[in-house]
């Protein structure tokens, strides 16, 4: 019939006053049933689709279900409180070995006011996967207000452009077991302030997200030490402290980690495209002596290009491996450089952008 994936709803409401055909203990089977339920559907898809082409979108889960591998948080309510509870529960799931988790944008039960819906759209599209869904109304943005259309469009385009970065994070979840949405303590285990942070998270290893969960648009979030860059404005904020901000609906704290490089794709209209073609590597606050790298993958998960940046005083070296068409490097927050070997430089509203000479795999930037 052309079905690539199933949403396996329910699976967790198994009674204990039953008899199993093989005499299994109904109490012990209560959680294990969720594994068998999802495994059965997964194996049917595997038989039809083959290796590397199988995914479920599952609600119920227990230990081991992360291999199936996508989950969501069930029937949340359309309130800011439930939005916060959903994030708290999702980070807990991701600390328990699960790589992919999301939630019903706007809440499942009841219908959110436009305020909650718009804030949830930003949060939902900065999750490992995204879905508009609910029980008592149609969740299309134009039924909430015209601004909701703008919000959903803005963050959908942002997610599509970030797909090279997000897909690499997804591959890390598959290969290493590191979740796409990470509690702060995973990335900052030596910072005691990160131990109990449950209203913010790292999306991949280099982007910090702090969803807004208040009607007045105010948000408090914690930045670990270092110089963090606001993705939208380019503002640099010194970390090691709490920050309080107020945001309109088209924004939220989306902060790039110090000494990071993030691959940004050339297509903001769809999530699946050639990520290496026209990719721009955004480099943030590279510390002296630092070496950072990232890779771009094909849609099958193979690494097609790796870029490594090394800073030595007032020079930044860029080395690439693999093949990509029309790649560039955008040095965020740097306005004006003395020169570049192996390429050309141009001004950009967010910094300077360097384009390599044809066939060049190395650049040297002189700050």
Which residues participate in catalysis according to the annotation?
A: 9, 12, 75
User: What does the block give as tokens for 230?
Assistant: 């606001």
User: What does the block give as tokens for 235?
Assistant: 């503002």
User: What does the block give as tokens for 304?
Assistant: 């097609």
**From the CB of residue 99, how many other CB atoms can be counted at a distance below 10 Å?**
24
**From the CB of residue 216, how many other CB atoms can be counted at a distance below 10 Å?**
8
Question: Any idea what the Cα angle at residue 35 is, between residues 31 and 37, rounded to 5°?
Answer: 105
Cα-Cα-Cα-Cα torsion 155, 156, 161, 167, nearest 10 degrees, comes to 110
Handedness of CA 137, 138, 141, 142 (dihedral sign): negative
End-to-end CA distance of the chain: 58
Cα-Cα-Cα-Cα torsion 95, 251, 346, 236, nearest 10 degrees, comes to -70
Cis amide prior to 222 (ω within 30 degrees): no
Rg of the chain on CA atoms, in Å: 22
The structure tokens 């490992």 sit at 128
Complete edge-to-edge strand list for the sheet that includes strand 328-332: 260-264, 280-284, 328-332, 351-356, 343-348
């Amino acid at each position: 019939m052309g079905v690539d994936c199933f949403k396996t709803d329910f699976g967790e409401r198994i009674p204990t006053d039953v008899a199993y055909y093989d005499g299994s203990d109904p109490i012990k089977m209560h959680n294990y049933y969720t594994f068998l339920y999802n495994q059965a559907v997964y194996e049917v898809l595997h038989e039809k689709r083959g290796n590397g082409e199988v995914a479920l979108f599952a609600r119920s889960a227990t230990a081991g279900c992360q291999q199936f591998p996508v989950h969501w948080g069930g029937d949340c309510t359309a309130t800011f409180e439930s939005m916060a509870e959903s994030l708290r529960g999702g980070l807990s799931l991701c600390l328990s070995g699960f790589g992919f988790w999301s939630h019903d944008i706007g809440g499942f039960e009841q219908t959110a006011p436009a305020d909650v819906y718009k804030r949830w759209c930003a949060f939902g599209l900065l999750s490992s996967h995204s879905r508009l869904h609910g029980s008592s109304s149609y969740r299309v943005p134009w039924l909430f207000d015209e601004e909701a259309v703008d919000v959903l469009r803005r963050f959908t385009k942002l997610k599509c452009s970030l797909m090279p970065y997000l897909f690499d994070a997804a591959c890390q979840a598959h290969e290493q077991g590191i979740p796409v949405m990470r509690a702060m303590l995973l990335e900052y285990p030596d910072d005691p302030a990160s131990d109990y942070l449950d209203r913010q998270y790292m999306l991949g290893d280099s982007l910090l997200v702090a969803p807004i969960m208040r009607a007045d648009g105010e948000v408090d979030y914690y930045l670990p030490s270092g110089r963090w860059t606001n993705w939208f404005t380019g503002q640099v904020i010194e970390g090691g402290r709490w920050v309080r901000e107020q945001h309109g609906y088209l924004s939220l704290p989306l902060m790039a980690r110090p000494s990071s490089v993030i691959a940004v794709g050339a297509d903001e209209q769809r999530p699946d495209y050639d990520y290496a073609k026209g990719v721009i590597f955004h480099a943030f606050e590279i510390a002296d002596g630092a070496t950072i790298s990232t890779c771009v993958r094909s849609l099958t998960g193979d690494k097609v290009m790796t870029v490594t940046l090394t800073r030595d005083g007032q020079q930044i070296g860029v080395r690439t491996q693999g093949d990509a068409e029309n790649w560039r490097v955008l040095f965020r927050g740097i306005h004006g450089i003395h020169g570049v070997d192996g390429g050309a430089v141009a001004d950009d509203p967010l910094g300077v952008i360097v384009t390599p000479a044809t066939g060049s795999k190395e650049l040297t930037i002189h700050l």
